[in-house]
Amino acid sequence: MSASSDEVAPKDGAATPDLDRAISRVEHELGRLFARIRVSWREAATTVHPDLQPLGYQVLTSIATGKATSAGAIIERLQTDKSAVSRHVRQLEQLGLVESVPDPDDRRARVLVATELAQERVALARARYEERLGERLRRWTAEDLDHFAELLAAFGD
């Protein structure tokens, strides 16, 4: 990320009042954004099933997208504990959203797969989320969106 031409960050890492205020504002806005994301996960979970919790939705989407198909992979991907994942996988199985099947590459192991019902519900939840996000982002210019994406990418590095 680059500093604006009006204010360049000190080279020695020393804080300035303007920089401190800007950092505080970013922290505040990130907090608001994360809160909104948690609300979105809750809404998406409810769309899939009224009893599903946000973490259960994240577990399900990890399975449904094929990004994590074992408990160990889900734990790694979501950075959560084994008991929480086990509890949510059990609930997803009870709701008919996930099945444990033999691993085609290693018949001794099992993998988790999303059922057709889960795929449909996740697609519906994603469509609703993408619609809301699109409504917000379409208020911006393509140039602003490109700049925002660049800033997010730089922040994530």
Which 3 state secondary structure label does DSSP give 3?
coil
The model's pTM:
0.79
Longest dimension (CA), the chain: 63
pLDDT tier, 133 (very low <50, low <70, confident <90, very high otherwise): very high
Q: From the CB of residue 63, how many other CB atoms can be counted at a distance below 10 Å?
A: 26
pLDDT at 4 over 60: no
Q: How far is CA 29 from CA 24, 35, 36, 53, 85, in A?
A: 9, 10, 11, 25, 30
Q: Which residue has the tokens 């609930």?
A: 91
